[in-house]
Structure 1
Amino acid sequence: MEAVNASESRTDLSRARRLVVKVGSSSLTGADGHLDLAALRSLVEVLSQARAAGRQVVLVSSGAVAAGIGPIGLPGRPKDLATAQATASVGQGLLVARYTEAFGRHGLTVGQVLLTAGDLIRRQHYANAQRALERLLALGVVPIVNENDTVATDEVRFGDNDRLAALVSHLVRADGLVLLTDVDGLYDGPPTDPHARLVPEVRSLADLSEVEVTGRGSDIGTGGMVTKLDAASIATGSGVPVVLTCAPHAARALAGEPVGTWFAPTGHRVSARRLWLAHAAQVRGRLHIDAGAARAVTDGKRSLLAAGITSVDGDFEAGDAVELVGPTGVVARGLVAYSSGDLPEMLGKSSHELREHGDVPRAVVHRDDLAQVRPGRVRTPG
């Protein structure tokens, strides 16, 4: 997992033609749940300057639920899904209205784009979302993207806008992704720890070997450093460089200055299908495989055969997405060719043995339907 181009640096971000910028709820709202208009307008000022310089910007903005907390009169972020959806419904309109006003002061038009995980899981929806975003950018519009919290369910959702932003950066073929949060970068420990040090650059897995992060950040947002590192992994793994920093440093980040943490690309752009399999597909079960099968599907890029499967978990049908779990953990995801009811009697049998029983053996997961999954990149306490 070394960087694709060792000479690539954060200064290249200053020349990026198309950028995806994600801002979190904690950077846009006060402790009372109301939108911080000064913070929002400051970010819009930076993005408008980028647009004036001829750059295209897609803004992935959290804040719908947080913006609705105050007007509805809630004491804090809703705990149940129905109330969160209602709060998002109120807050989304307010959030976009403020962006419309702020960008309008700079002569720019915004367009609201609400996405669900289903929009990236279903191929036609993916194509529709891609076409809509491309057209908005061609027309000079600034797309404001958010998860459609009003209709998204716990079963099919991104879960946080960091992951959504990484997938959108692939969707629009962005030249860079900027993640703006309430801390100025990635630290090797809790930022509140006086001994914690900023990690200025990440070029490989080894750079994160001593990093320890926790889960959710502020009470207003849903993400945390774990989700941001996950987003950085998704984006860099498909060739998109990432900068993680705080909102007040947005202008310097876009200028390629040494702020926050720079994540260099670690892979080349992958097909939308493989990105979907690796990060967006809803997993219905698990296939536990032996070490030889794990090497075959990862290092050998081969299909998974029944002989390498040791056990099956879950209830799934042919064509569903499943995880492939080797001795060291999850190594890949793929579309399974058999149901969970049909597989058990095939486990461990070679193609020759299956033929002897009158079966026509085929790959349980074909290599064209496989996407490798990277191992965990950071340590979490406990």
Structure 2
Amino acid sequence: MTTRATVAAARLLVVKVGSSSLTTAAGGLDPARLDALVDAVATRRAAGTQVVLVSSGAIAAGLAPLGLARRPRDLATQQAAASVGQLALGHAYVSSFGRHSLRVGQVLLTADDVVRRSHYRNAQRTLTRLLALGAVPVVNENDTVATDEIRFGDNDRLAALVAHLIGADALILLSDVDSLYDGDPRLGDARRIAEVASPADLTEVRAGATGASGLGTGGMASKLAAARLASAAGVPVLLAAASDALRALDTADVGTAFAASGRRLTSRRFWLAYAADANGTLTLDNGAVTAVVDRRRSLLAAGITATKGEFVAGDVVELADLTGRVIARGVTNFDATELPALIGHSTHDLPADRRREVVHADDLVPLRQA
């Protein structure tokens, strides 16, 4: 089955839409655009597919009501705009989906909710239960309380995380650009890329970091990063224009299709690889790198050459080779203060209460193969 056919046949789908696709240039929601998106989602729902909608737009929706001419730069005003806009956005979705007799459940997340394992599992249960009850979950970043993560990829990365979190069959990223290009399409000489079969197809792509409208924060670089993350974790992706939402959610014959380039990970291993914050780095010798990456063995103290960062037992750490390249992530069984006295020593030479793996194979994910 082709990637587009897989997206078209998906029974559980995550759809992400950006701020610029829902709001006007002057700020405020555009009812016609929002209704068109909802109509496309409702049509797909009527065909038997469960849909989770990841929607940006809270800050942009709050600009006009607060008399702001443009997206604010300072955090406090962004949070104030989000506070006002979130209510407007939620009400608009309730009213629009109501035209199709569909219920809506709002789920506001911060990066902390996917970084902390207990929060991650709770978000997973909430979304799964909403779907089971027949509601359409509308996910947005909780910009009213977010700090640095308020610029969390304009929800693109969040959408990729949610897609794996709920075990989605596919992810659709909708924006104000109709496809992926190898350069800026506004300059006139960029080549459209219709299919991405593997990461090798992206070597010549130069994606911009900001959007054209000024209302969002993601841009094509954010969408490309999210598509690569999802596809590497086994989730096929379709990138298309919001104006083509009906076709994107039906035949998927528009935009750029990203084939799943990696295998599907368990929820825990995906969390380890992509969602959790790493609190330190362990540098491995060449033998340990081979054992961890190629042989999927546990990491022992003998294979570690150096440590960096402040972490405690149970924290996620990055594992790097001698060049500094991160090759795996895992959960450490030792504090940062304990390891310096252990590294480089055989397990048999360690005190009895220290004779255990630094990172057990069950709590370790090689990133080359993740």
Q: Same fold (TM over 0.5)?
A: yes
Residue 322 of structure 1: which of 317, 326, 329 is its match?
Answer: 317
Deviation readout 1:336-376 (Å, 9 max, x if unpaired): 22222222233333334x43x7773322222111123359x
Task: Find the counterpart in structure 1 of residue 329 from structure 2.
Answer: 333
Residue 137 of structure 2: which of 133, 140, 143 is its match?
Answer: 143
User: Counterparts of 1:344 and 1:79 in 2: how far apart (Å)?
Assistant: 43
Cα deviation for residue 203 of structure 1 reads 1.6
User: Counterparts of 1:17 and 1:366 in 2: how far apart (Å)?
Assistant: 35
User: Counterparts of 1:320 and 1:345 in 2: how far apart (Å)?
Assistant: 19
RMSD between aligned residues: 2.2
Cα deviation for residue 31 of structure 1 reads 1.9
User: Counterparts of 1:329 and 1:239 in 2: how far apart (Å)?
Assistant: 23
One-letter amino acid matched to 2:234: G
Task: Find the counterpart in structure 2 of residue 229 from structure 1.
Answer: 224
Cα deviation for residue 59 of structure 1 reads 0.6
Q: Is the alpha carbon distance of 1:311 and 1:157 closer, same or farther for their aligned partners in structure 2, counting shifts above 3 Å? A: farther
SS of 2:24's equivalent in the other structure is: coil
TM-score by length of 2: 0.92
Task: Find the counterpart in structure 2 of residue 195 from structure 1.
Answer: 189
Q: Is the alpha carbon distance of 1:288 and 1:74 closer, same or farther for their aligned partners in structure 2, counting shifts above 3 Å? A: farther
Superposed counterparts of 1:1-382, under 5 Å: 7-154=1-148, 158-218=152-212, 219-326=214-321, 327=323, 329-352=325-348, 354-355=349-350, 360-374=354-368
Cα deviation for residue 10 of structure 1 reads 0.6
User: Counterparts of 1:28 and 1:295 in 2: how far apart (Å)?
Assistant: 49
Cα deviation for residue 80 of structure 1 reads 2.9
Q: Does the aligned pair in 1 maintain the 2:238–2:252 contact within 8 Å? A: no
| Equivalent pairs, count | 367
Q: Does the aligned pair in 2 maintain the 1:116–1:157 contact within 8 Å? A: no
User: Counterparts of 1:256 and 1:13 in 2: how far apart (Å)?
Assistant: 8
User: Counterparts of 2:287 and 2:169 in 1: how far apart (Å)?
Assistant: 38
TM-score by length of 1: 0.89
Q: Does the aligned pair in 1 maintain the 2:293–2:368 contact within 8 Å? A: no
User: Counterparts of 2:368 and 2:216 in 1: how far apart (Å)?
Assistant: 26
SS of 1:108's equivalent in the other structure is: coil
Structure 1, unaligned runs of 5 or more: 1-6, 376-382
Q: Does the aligned pair in 2 maintain the 1:236–1:267 contact within 8 Å? A: yes
One-letter amino acid matched to 1:293: A
One-letter amino acid matched to 1:340: A
Cα deviation for residue 248 of structure 1 reads 0.9
Q: Does the aligned pair in 2 maintain the 1:11–1:255 contact within 8 Å? A: no
Cα deviation for residue 323 of structure 1 reads 1.3
Deviation readout 1:163-210 (Å, 9 max, x if unpaired): 111111122221111000111111112222322111111121211122
Structure 2, unaligned runs of 5 or more: none
Deviation readout 1:241-287 (Å, 9 max, x if unpaired): 11011101112122234311111112332111111111111221122
User: Counterparts of 2:324 and 2:193 in 1: how far apart (Å)?
Assistant: 27
Q: Does the aligned pair in 2 maintain the 1:118–1:156 contact within 8 Å? A: no
Q: Does the aligned pair in 2 maintain the 1:278–1:373 contact within 8 Å? A: yes
Q: Is the alpha carbon distance of 1:284 and 1:160 closer, same or farther for their aligned partners in structure 2, counting shifts above 3 Å? A: farther
User: Counterparts of 2:114 and 2:149 in 1: how far apart (Å)?
Assistant: 14
Q: Is the alpha carbon distance of 1:222 and 1:292 closer, same or farther for their aligned partners in structure 2, counting shifts above 3 Å? A: farther
